[in-house]
Chain A
Amino acid sequence: DQQVKQNSPSLSVQEGRISILNCDYTNSMFDYFLWYKKYPAEGPTFLISISSIKDKNEDGRFTVFLNKSAKHLSLHIVPSQPGDSAVYFCALDTGGFKTIFGAGTRLFVKA
């Protein structure tokens, strides 16, 4: 049973436009959510996070939104740049060191 779902395996966006990556989770007990970015031949890199006491966190071009009632998380990248092309993993920190990752969404930003 997948506790974290990223239903879009891939997303293609034009440079300069907004990229929106979505994530759904099943367990309302989770209280800390993260996005990681992964380039080929590299390990995942932390991008941005949000705790359950907030509904929005912004860091430069990256904003994460949390809708607890819908158990939905989204990452907005604006404006998108070709260097943003990577696989993006939504991750949930269950506490006690366990982090559950979604299957990932591959983002292509076209120049």
Chain B
Amino acid sequence: EIVLTQSPGTLSLSPGERATLSCRASQSVSSSYLAWYQQKPGQAPRLLICGASSRATGIPDRFSGSGSGTDFTLTISRLEPEDFAVYYCQHFGNSLFTFGPGTKVDIK
């Protein structure tokens, strides 16, 4: 079973700053099967990135994804007030879906 680890657990930044979130897999995975979600309090997760680097429909271009193998990154180029939330990576492999533990981006 592939385990996803996200770091840092919490990222404290100010609006306008750049956020870099990491997702590491316990073994090499296909980037086609790596996605990122944003979740705000009381809401369902929202798909941001699929296939490691493709933005979902309607997602602003300040969000970008990259990576391959075991290391993947979600970057928010300039934080807007609405971007403070929890971010999860997700993988599909061996017919199973797994989520990382999440990174909380909060206001410094």
Does B associate with A?
A: no
Residues of B within 8 A of A (CB): none
